[in-house]
Structure 1
Amino acid sequence: MNQKINFGLLGLLLLSAAGVAQAATCTVNTGLMNTPDPNIKLKGAAGVPGLVIGVGNPNCQVNPCALNNNAGVAYVNGVAATLPANTSQLNAVSVASTNYAVAVGENKNGMPVALVQFNGATWSAMPTAGAAPTQDVYGVKTYGLNQTYAAGKEGIFFFDGASWTLQLPIANVPNVGGQNAGKFVGMWGNATTVFALADNGALYSKAAATPPTVWAQTPNPPAALNNANFSGITGDAAGNVYITGQTNAGFGFVYQYNPTTQVWTNTITTAGQFDLLAVAVNPVNGAITAVGDNGAQITSGPNGAGPWTQIPPANNVKNINGVYIAPNGTTYMAGTTSAGCTMGVTVTPASGGGAIPSGSAGGTWTALTGPTVTEGAVGGVGTGTIILNVPTGFEFDTTGTAPTVLVTGDTATATNNINHVASGTALAVTSVTTTQITFTVTFISAGATPNILTWQNIRVRPTAATPLATGNITETGTATGFVAGTSFGTLTEVTATGPDHIEIDHTGSALTCSPQTVTIKACANAACTTLYTAGGLNVTLTPGGSTFAIGVSGSNTAATVQQTTAGTATLTAAATPAAAAATTCLNTVTGGASCAMTFSNAGFLITVPNHTSCTNAAASIEAVQTGGTGRCVPAYQNVTRPVNLNIAYTNPTTGTKTLTDVTNNSAITTVASAHNLTFDATGKATITLSYPDAGQLTLTANDTAPTGAAMTGSGIFIAAPASFAFSAVTAAPIKAGNPFSATVTAQTGTGAACAAAAAAPNFGKETAPEGATLSFSKCQPTGTGAVPGTFSGALGAFTNGAATATNLLWSEVGNGDLTARLTSGSYLASGLTATGNTGTGGTACTGAGNVGRFIPDHFDTAIVNGCLGCGFTYSGQPFTVSVTAKNGLAAPTTTVNYDGSASTAPNFAKATTLSAWDAATGAIANPGPGTLSNTAVALTAFAAGVATLNTPATMPSYAFTAVQTAPTVIRVRAIDADNVSSLRTPLASSIEGQPEIRSGRIKLANAHGSELLALPITATVQFYNASNTWVTSTTDSATQFNTNLSPTGNVQAVIAKGPLALANVNVLTPGVVTFATGVRTFNLAASRVAGSADLTIVTAPSYLLPSIAGRATFGVYKGNNEFIYLREAY
C-alpha cells in the first residue's frame, strides 16, 4: 500500500509507508507537540497546504495530572498553540486558508461552548452575538472570516463574521430509520455545497453561498443503516459525500451519496466489528480511508475501488478519532494511545554491512548505504546531538572521505529545514572517531514538509579476524525523537571465502634490475567476466614473494613481480582466503593465456599515463640494463636511434584506431615499426602520444642492446572518453509521461591527432562493458509552485560509441536538460570519468532547458451541475467546470507545472477553450442543438495544473437554440493552444464532465379565493422532457426566487380586472424562497377588493424565463377549469 501516514503531528505515533508501527517512547513528547506531557487526546484534524491543525483535549492517564482534562488543546503544524482562556474541549476544526481556521467544541465544567478562530498567528474567541450555540458542537465548515457553519446538539448555525443564526433546529430533523436525531455529528463542504450529518443518518445540504438559509434534506440512507450509529462525513473532488459509522449489528460501514443522482452506494461494510469514527478521501488517487476505535484503519483502492485493506492497529494506539489527507497524499490521523505515547521518527537502518569479510580486518573498508531518519512531522527530530555508535568488534573509517548527512525537506524555504539549509544539502558531521560519528542539530524543521536525514560515506571494518563479531549501530545523544535501542544498521563479520581464481595480467617481459608491474584480478567466475568484490583478499605473487591486497574493487593494478636472474619464470599467485581454482594469466601483448615471463638483463621501461582520448600524453621509454650492482643503468645515453614500437589492444581486445606518435608524426600500429627516440644522459626518451579512441592498450618497444642482446619492454595505459554528447533528442513539444528518445555518443577529446571531437567506437566493447547513466534536470518553470517531476529511462547498449534510449519519460510540464554520466564513475578503474549534457554551453539549465517544451498528455474535465443536488443543469444556467492537466503515465497524474499563477515562472499553462459535444459519440458538436457560452479559460486560471471555473465571470452555460428541446447530455471538452485535449482514443478513456441539460421554466398556477383571505400561489419549476411535455422538476430543491414584487423581487403583477389595483396586491412574508421537489407556495395578502391580477416571474433566475403566468383572482370561489376538451365515457 503506497500510503504515507503521519500520526506524529497529531498526537499518536508514526506509521511507516507499509503501515507497520514503530515502537513508541512513553517518556515525553519528542518534539512533535513541543509539550512535556504526552497525555493528549486529539479528536479532529484539518488543513490546507502549509497549515495542518489538530484539536482535542488533555487526556491525562497519570495522577496527579498538571493538565485540565476539560480544557481544549490545538496543535498548529505540530506546535502546541495558546488558546483563549476558558476554552473548553475542542471536537472539530475547519481550515479555510493559512490565515483563517475555526475550531468548535463543548461546554465542559461550566465553561462556555468552545468557539475559537485562528488568524494565521494567534487564536481568539469568536463573537457570540445573536443566536450562538450554547450546547456541544461537533462539526464545522468555514469558508472564511464571514462565512462559517457549525452543527451540534442544537442544530445547524451560521456565523457571518459578526453574529450567529440558528438555521436548522435539531427538533426539525425527522426520524430516520427508526431513530430520532440527538445531534449533528459532522460537516463537510466544497466550493459550492455544504453538508451536515445527524447522528440518525439524516443528511442535509445547502448552497455554500449565503443566502439561502434553507437546508434541504437528502433522501434517507438505505434501510441497511437503520438504527446505525453515524459518526463521520467527508467528500471527494467530484462532490460525492461519504459517511461512516457502525451498523446496529456492530459492523463498520462507508456509504457514498451522489448528490447528482441522489443515489446511496455501499462502499464497504466490514466483515468484523468496527466502530468507524471518521473518513477521508485521498486527493491524489481517490482512495478512501476510514478510522475508528481500537486503532481501526481501513483503506480502499484508488477512486474508492476495492480491494479494501485493513491495517493492523499500531503499537499502543487506542482510538483514531479524526483523519485529514493533504493534497499531496500525506495522511494525518488524530487520536489517543493507550499509554499516551508518541514518537518522532522512523529509522531505516544502514545496508551493506551484513557480510563483512573477516579478512578485511585492518585492511579494506566496507561502505554502508544510509542509515536514514524520516520525520513523522516537522520538528520530529529535536535539537541536540545524534551520535552513531559502532558495535564492538568493528571500527569507523576516520581517514577516507568524511561522512556527511544529507538533508531532504522543503524545496522552497531553507529555514523550514533542519539546520536551516537548502533541501539536498550534504552537511558535515561534527566529529568522527573509530567508535562514534556525531551530528549536531541546531535548528529543527518547520513549515509543512517533514525532513529526511541520510548519512553518507560511512565505512566500517572488523578490528580482528577472530572471533567473528556482530552487532547493531546504535544511537545516543541529546536530540529528541529517537527510541533507545533502535538499530541504525546491523554489522556482521563473516568468515572470508575466496574467489574462483586469481588472474595475472602481464606483458610477458621484465627486467632483472627492476620490479615488473602486473595487474592481479580476483575472479568470481571461470571466465573472469565478474570480479570478486567482497574485499579482504591478500595475494602473494611469485617470483618475488610480495603480498598485495585486493579490496572491494576486485583488482590491484600496482602489484609487482621480480627476479634478479635472466630467464623465463612462471607467474603464480596464492590467495588468502584461498581461491577455488588455479591461477590464470593474460599476456596483454600477445593476447595469449601464458603465465611465462621472460626476465632480461636489458630492456625498456615504458610508462604511459592514463589520459583522456585524443589528448596528448607524454610517454617515457627508458633503455636500461642491469649494472654490476644489480641496479638498472642506462643502456643508451645521449643518442637518437630507431626503436620498433607496436601496440596491442588489451581491453577491448580489438580495435580500429591507431596510436599516433605525435613527436615523429607517424602511426604506431599492431605491426612493429621504427620510430626515432632521443635518449638523454639517464637513458630516457620522451615522446608524445595520442589515441583517438577509448580502451586499454599495451605499448611495446623492441631493439638491440649495445651488447647485442635483444631488448624489449611494454607498458599498459588507458585512454578514457572525454565526454558524452547528445543528439537525436525528440523535438518539442513532448507530451509529459510519453516516451521520448535521445542518442548519447562517447566522444574523444581534441588534440594533435583529432581536430574535432568524434565518436570513440570502442566504448562499450570492454570485457565488462562501460556505459552511461541518464538523469534529467527541470530547468523551467522555477518558483515555489514548480515541482521537479519524476524521470525514468535508460540507454541501450553502445555500438560504435553510441547508444540510444527510446523509453525516456518525464512526468511534468516545462523544459529541462538531460545529463549522461559514466556509470562506473571510473573508466576501467583509471580514475578518469566522463559526463555531458544538453545544456547551453555545456552547463545544464543555463536559462531554458534544451529538452522539451513538455506539454500535458491530455485534460480531464469535471462538472458540478448548476442546479445543486438536482442531477442536471438548466439550459442557460451557469455550471462549474474544472479542467485538470494530466500526464500520459500508466496511472496519469496531474502536471502541477501547468500553471498560470505567480508561483511559477515562466508560466507553462496555455489559454484553453471549452466546447460541447454529444455524450454518446463525442463527435457531434453543440448537440440539441445549443450553444456553449463563456468558453475561454485564461491561462491564469490554472494553478498547480487545475483550473476551476466557479465564479459568475468564469462559469460556462449551455443554452438550447429552441426552448422546446428534450434533455440532452453533453460532453464538456477542453483544448489548449497546443491542441492538448480532453478527447482521447478510445472515447471511453476520455474523462469529460457530462452534464444533462434540460430546458426549464417556472409556471405559476391560477388561484382564486375570497378577497378577505390570503391567497396561496403555487409555483412549479418544470423541464421539457423526452416525451415533448413540460413536467415538474421533482429533483429540484435548489432553485430560488424572491417573492417580493418587482422591482424589489422577482414577482410581477399586472392587473387583469378591477376594481383590484396594484396597491391591493401584496405578498405575505416576502423574501427568497427555495423550491422543494420542484414546487413552492407563497401567499398573497387579502386584497379586500375583488378583481384579478396576472402574475409572472421576472428578472431571475434568467435561465428559467419567460415564466408561465398565473392569474390570481380575488372574490371568486371557483377557478377556471384547466382543460381544453371534455367528454363523458359511455
Structure 2
Amino acid sequence: MFLRRFHLFVLALMLSAAGGPASAGAVYTFGGIATVGNCTLSGAVYTCPSLPLTGWDDSMVIASGYTVNVTSDVSFGYNHSLTMSGSAVLSSTGNLDIGGIKGDNLNVDGGTFVAANTFRIGSQVQTVRANIKAADADLGTGSGLTINGSVTATGSVDIATHAVINGNVTGATITARPGSEIYGNIVAKTSFELGSQGTVKGDITAPVVNLLPAQSNVTGKITAKTSLEIGSQVNVYGDVVTGTLTMNPAKAIIDGNATVDSAVLGSQDRVTQVIYCTGGTRSGQCDCVTNNSGYEVNTEEGPHCQGNVVPLDHFLIAYDPAGSVCAPSTVTITACANQACTATYGGGGTVTLAPTGQSVPIPTSGIAQATVAWTQPGTFTLGASGATTANATTCIRNGDTGPGADCKVAVASSAYTMTLPGQAFYAEAPTAPQLTIAAVRFDAKSNSCVPLFNNVERNINFTCAYGNPTSGTLPVRLNGTPLNGGQNAAAACDSTGTTLKLTFNADGKVAVPLQYADAGAVTVKAADSGAGSPPSASVTTVFAPAKFAITLAGANAPYVAGKEFTATVTALNGASTPAATPNFGRESVSESAKLAPVACQPINNNGLLAQTTASTVAGVQTLKARWSETGRIDLLASLTNSNGYLGTNLQPATATTNIATTGCTGAAGTFSPAYFTFDTDTGWKRTSSAFGGALPQYYSGEPAIKLTVTARNLQNGITQNYAGTDARDVLFTALNPDGTALAIGAFSRSATYPATDLTGKAQLRGTDFTAGIATWTGSHTFTTSPTGQTRLRVRATEDLPAAQSPASSSAIPSGVTTGTEPTLLIRSGRIRMPSRFGPAGATLKIPVSIEYYTGQTWILNNEDSTTALPAGIVSTGAVSGYTIAPTLSPAFTNGKAELTLTPSVAAHVSAPFAINLGTTTANTSCYAGRGVKMTTSTGANLAFLRSVDASCTAAGAVDPSALATFGVYAPETKRIIHTREVFR
C-alpha cells in the first residue's frame, strides 16, 4: 500500500511540474481591494515589496485604471498567469521580466509595462497589447513575439528575430534582428540597425542608420544626420536625409529623393528621384556622388543631382548696353543664392522684367533668358521684380568682368541685325553657316523697320570674343578672314579685329560664311564708323566638336579586371583634316566625353565600366576606367551631356575602338582575373590540430581533396565571364605554409581531360569554370613513399608564361581575409593488421589500424574516424571443406577498426587473410602474389593506403595481409599457472 501511494505522489508531482492536471493556484486581482497579497493600495496605485505570486501556478489580474508598482526585481514563472487590460500598469523599480510566462497564460489586452532597469520578454509565442517603458528593452529571443504598442527606452532596444512591433520605437541604440517587423516610427538617439529581411513601415530618425543586407524593406523617410548605410538588395521607399550615404553593391534602391553631403553608389544601386547635394553641384553633374552604379549620370537609371535649395539672395541681369527698335535684345537673368552669385537658387519662380512688364519663368537651374522687344528709341532701365530677395537686383554688361553696371540700355532707331540659320553648328562643318547682316531703320510712317542701306558697300569692323569658355586660342573667321589684328588663323581673337568691305543688296542685306575651328560659345561684333551708320551689333552662337576620336594607352597591358586603365578621347572639328578643339572641356560647366563598354568576347551583359576624368588638355580628355569583368571589350566614346554640347542638342559623332569590318575588335583586353580565391570543403570532417589549428588532413594519393576556385576582380567581385573558352587552364602549386617553394609531389589533373589526352597537366581546365567558379576534386601524391607528414599551402595560377602576367591566388590583397590560399595536411597512410592465433572453431578478432608516417616511424592516426571500410573487401585463404566468414567494422574510429574471422568448423588450420584496397576482385597481398588461392572480394577503392610488406618487398605497395591460425593457443593462454622443476 505504501509503495502504491508513493508512486501516486510522484506521478502528481510530475504532472504538476509539466503543467498538467493539478489544483489551480491563487488569483491576485488588483481592482480596488485595499490589500492584495503583500501589496497595499493608495488611490489607484498598489505598492508591493515583491511580486505577490507565492505559488508556482498563481495568477495576477490588473484591472484597467490601476497600477501595480513592485519595489524590487520582477520575474514570472512558466506557470504563472498575467492578465491586464485598458490602462492597467505593471511597474518595477528594478528589472521586469515576463518572458518566462507560457504564451497561453499571458493575456495582456491593454496597459503599460514600466521598468527602471531592463524589461524582458522571452522566446515563447507571446502577444501583448501594451506600451513598454524601460531603461533597456530586451524584446524576445525567438520568432513568436508580437507587441501591439509603443516601446520607449532611455538605453538600448533589442528586437528579436521575426518579432513584430505594431507601434513606435524610441531608444538610444535600437537593434532589430533579421526578419523583424516594425510598423511605426523609429527614433534612436545613437543608432538604428535593421537586420536582413526586415520590415519598417514608418519614419526612421537616428544619427547613424545601418540597413544590413539583404531583402529588407523600409517605407518611410530616413533622417540620419551622420551616416546612412544601405546593404545589397535593400529597398527604401521614401526620402532620405543624411550626411554620408553609402549604398553597398548590389541592387540597393532608394525610391525617393536623397539629400546628402556625399554619397557612394555601388554596383546597380539607384536613387530613383533627385540627389540634392548640400554642398552644391554643377548643373548636369553629380559632384557629391561617387558613382559606381554602372549607370551614367542623368541617364534613366543613373543619378540625377541638384544643389540643395538655399534662399534667394538677389537677381543678376546680364545685358548689352546698346539696343535697337529693329533688333530685339537678349538678357540673361540669374537667380543668385549668394552675394557673389557663385551659386544659383534652385527653387524656381517667375519674375516681372522692367521696362516691358513681361513675365519670365526662372527654372530650377536658376538661369533664364528673355527677349526684349523695344518699341521706341531712348534709354531704358532693366529690372526684375515679383520675388522676395534679400538684396536688390544687380546688372552686368556682356563682356564685363563683374557686376556694377547701371542696367541702362540705349535704344536706337536704326540697327545692324545679325542672324544665323540656327543656334549652334559643328566646328569647321563642310558647309559653313551663313551670317546674314542687315542694316535697318525704324520708319514711323509704316511703323516698321525698313532697309537702311541699298546696294552700297560699307567698311565694317568685326571683332570676336569668347563667351563659354571665356578665353581661347583660335579666331572666328568671317568670309574666310580671321577676326584679329594680324588676320592670323593661329592667333586668338582680340579687340582690334578685322575690317571687311561688304556689299549690301537691294534689301539691305549681305551674307558671309562664319567659321570657327574650335568649340564653345563665341560672339561676333560688328561696328561701323561710317556716315549714317547704326549702332554696333553682335551675335552669339555655339560651335560643337564634330566628332570624337579614341585611343588606348599602350601601357595598359596587362589588362586586369577591376584594374585602372587609360583611354584618351579627342574632340575634333569637322575639317577635311580634323584637328582637336582645344577649348573642349574648358567650359564654365566642363563638357566631357564618357565611355561605354561594348562586349566582344564574350558578348553578354556582364560587367560594369567605372570611369573618371583625369585631365582634359587642349581638347584631349584622359579617362581612367575600370572594367569589372574578364574577356575583351571595345569602347564607345560619346558626349556626357544628354542635352548636347552646351545644351544645344548637337552631339559629336561617337568614336569606337572597334575597327573590324564585321563583328568586333575587342581592342581593350584581354582582361584577366585579378586573383583567385579558394573555398574548402566544409563537409570534410577529418582534421588535425597537430600544428595549432584544425587543418584538413588527407592521405597521399587520396582523391578526396575538394577545392573551389573563384576568379575575382580587384574589388573582390566574381568575374562571371571567366568560363569555358573565355577562361584559361589553372595549375595548383604546393608551397610551404610561409609561401616558400615545396616540391615533394604533385596534384592530380582535372577529371575532365579525355582519356586520349595523356599530356594535360592542369588541375582546372578553362571548360571547368562556370560563371567564374570551378571545383576540383582530386589528390596530392608524394613523389616518394612514404614521406613524412607535410603541410601544403595551395596556390592557383593560370597556365601562362610569366611574361603574360598570369592571374594567381598569390595576388590576393591583404584586405581580403576570406578565400585565402588554404593549407592542407598530407600524410603517407597505410592500413596494418597483425597475425593472430586462437582455439579451433572459435571466433578470432583481428585489430585493424590506420597509420601515418611521421618521417621516422609509422604511428596510429587517432584523428581518423572518417575512412570507410565497405563490406566484402576481406579475402581469406581457400581451404577445402573449410571456410572463414569475415566481418569488418564499417569505418575506423580514432584510427582503429576490428576484423572478426569466424571459421565454419573446428579444425587446426592456418589461413591467410587480406583487405582488398584496390578496384578489382583480387587482392594484391603478398600471399596472393605467391599464388595462394584466396576468395574474391570487392575492392575498397583505397589503394592509396597500400604499403610495402617486408615479406614481399619486391612487389612494392601491396594490400595489407596477415595469417590466422586456429587450434593453437598463445603461450599466455595455457592453463598451467606454475610448474616447479627440480634440478639435481
TM-score range, shorter chain: 0.5 to 0.7
Q: CA deviation at 1:811?
A: 5.2
Alignment of 1:7-156 (within 5 A): none
User: In structure 2, what is the equivalent of residue 766 of structure 1?
Assistant: 587
CA contact (8 A) 2:564 2:626 kept: yes
Distance 1:564 1:333 in 2: 71
Q: CA deviation at 1:1065?
A: 4.2
Q: Classify the secondary structure of the residue corresponding to 2:728.
A: coil
Residue-by-residue CA offset, 1:377-409 (whole Å, 9 max, x unaligned)? xxxxxxxxxxxxxxxxxxxxxxxxxxxxxxxxx
Change (3 A) 1:695 1:673: same
User: In structure 2, what is the equivalent of residue 792 of structure 1?
Assistant: 610
1:969 and 2:791 equivalent?
yes
User: In structure 2, what is the equivalent of residue 162 of structure 1?
Assistant: none
Q: CA deviation at 1:1023?
A: 0.9
- Letter paired with 2:610: S
Alignment of 1:583-598 (within 5 A): 583-589=393-399, 593=403, 594=405, 595-598=407-410
Alignment of 1:797-808 (within 5 A): 797-806=615-624, 808=626
Distance 1:1039 1:1062 in 2: 34
User: In structure 1, what is the equivalent of residue 704 of structure 2?
Assistant: 879
CA contact (8 A) 1:508 1:589 kept: no
1:726 and 2:550 equivalent?
yes
User: In structure 2, what is the equivalent of residue 691 of structure 1?
Assistant: 516
CA contact (8 A) 1:866 1:879 kept: no
Structure showing greater relative contact order (alpha-carbon pairs closer than 8 Å, 6 or more residues apart): 1
Distance 1:512 1:790 in 2: 57
Q: CA deviation at 1:621?
A: 1.1
Q: CA deviation at 1:856?
A: 0.7
Q: CA deviation at 1:976?
A: 1.3
User: In structure 1, what is the equivalent of residue 742 of structure 2?
Assistant: 925
1:602 and 2:418 equivalent?
no
Change (3 A) 1:801 1:528: farther
- Letter paired with 1:918: N
User: In structure 1, what is the equivalent of residue 433 of structure 2?
Assistant: 617
User: In structure 2, what is the equivalent of residue 499 of structure 1?
Assistant: 312
Distance 2:902 2:398 in 1: 114
User: In structure 2, what is the equivalent of residue 1031 of structure 1?
Assistant: 859
Change (3 A) 1:768 1:731: closer
Alignment of 1:594-743 (within 5 A): 594=405, 595-608=407-420, 609-615=423-429, 616-629=432-445, 630-662=447-479, 669-670=493-494, 671-704=496-529, 708-709=532-533, 711-729=535-553, 731-743=556-568
Name the count of aligned residue pairs.
Answer: 645
User: In structure 2, what is the equivalent of residue 995 of structure 1?
Assistant: 824
Distance 1:345 1:271 in 2: 22
Change (3 A) 1:636 1:822: farther
CA contact (8 A) 2:416 2:534 kept: no
Change (3 A) 1:315 1:602: closer
Q: Classify the secondary structure of the residue corresponding to 1:983.
A: helix
Q: Classify the secondary structure of the residue corresponding to 1:767.
A: coil
Distance 1:539 1:316 in 2: 49
Change (3 A) 1:1063 1:914: farther
Q: 1:509 aligns with which of 306, 322, 325?
A: 322
The Cα RMSD (Å) is 4.4
Q: Classify the secondary structure of the residue corresponding to 1:693.
A: coil
User: In structure 2, what is the equivalent of residue 582 of structure 1?
Assistant: 392
Distance 2:310 2:736 in 1: 72
User: In structure 2, what is the equivalent of residue 827 of structure 1?
Assistant: 645
User: In structure 2, what is the equivalent of residue 529 of structure 1?
Assistant: 342
- Letter paired with 1:606: M
CA contact (8 A) 1:531 1:554 kept: yes
Q: Classify the secondary structure of the residue corresponding to 2:726.
A: coil
Distance 1:778 1:925 in 2: 41
User: In structure 1, what is the equivalent of residue 141 of structure 2?
Assistant: 274
Q: Classify the secondary structure of the residue corresponding to 1:552.
A: coil
User: In structure 2, what is the equivalent of residue 549 of structure 1?
Assistant: 361
| Percent identity between the two aligned chains | 28
Change (3 A) 1:1096 1:983: same
Q: CA deviation at 1:846?
A: 5.9
Q: Structure 1 residues 307-316 or 590-599, which shifts more?
A: 307-316
Rg: which structure is higher? 2
CA contact (8 A) 1:513 1:626 kept: yes
Q: 2:352 aligns with which of 522, 539, 552?
A: 539
User: In structure 2, what is the equivalent of residue 171 of structure 1?
Assistant: none
User: In structure 2, what is the equivalent of residue 1103 of structure 1?
Assistant: 944
Distance 2:270 2:811 in 1: 43
Q: 1:1117 aligns with which of 969, 973, 982?
A: 969
User: In structure 2, what is the equivalent of residue 89 of structure 1?
Assistant: none
Change (3 A) 1:603 1:782: same
CA contact (8 A) 2:547 2:655 kept: no
- Letter paired with 2:857: T
Change (3 A) 1:869 1:790: same
Distance 1:347 1:846 in 2: 46
CA contact (8 A) 1:505 1:588 kept: yes
CA contact (8 A) 1:546 1:561 kept: no
Distance 2:971 2:456 in 1: 136
Distance 1:501 1:1084 in 2: 106
User: In structure 1, what is the equivalent of residue 955 of structure 2?
Assistant: none
Distance 2:357 2:899 in 1: 113
- Letter paired with 1:932: F
Change (3 A) 1:333 1:498: closer
User: In structure 2, what is the equivalent of residue 440 of structure 1?
Assistant: none
Distance 1:1007 1:292 in 2: 61
Q: 2:181 aligns with which of 287, 307, 314?
A: 314
Distance 1:770 1:348 in 2: 38
User: In structure 2, what is the equivalent of residue 562 of structure 1?
Assistant: 374
Distance 2:841 2:138 in 1: 65
Change (3 A) 1:867 1:811: closer
- Letter paired with 2:436: S
Q: Which runs of 5+ in 2 are unaligned?
A: 1-120, 125-136, 145-158, 166-173, 185-194, 200-214, 223-232, 236-249, 252-267, 275-308, 488-492, 688-695, 750-760, 801-805, 919-940, 948-958, 974-984
1:869 and 2:686 equivalent?
yes
What TM-score comes out, normalization by structure 1 length? 0.51
Change (3 A) 1:660 1:748: farther
Q: 1:1004 aligns with which of 833, 845, 853?
A: 833
Q: 1:1078 aligns with which of 872, 895, 899?
A: 895
- Letter paired with 1:624: V
CA contact (8 A) 1:664 1:676 kept: no
- Letter paired with 1:859: F
CA contact (8 A) 1:974 1:981 kept: yes
Q: Classify the secondary structure of the residue corresponding to 1:686.
A: strand
Distance 2:198 2:273 in 1: 32
Residue-by-residue CA offset, 1:245-285 (whole Å, 9 max, x unaligned)? xxxx9889xxxxxxxxxxxxxxxxx99852479xxxxxxxx
Change (3 A) 1:909 1:603: same
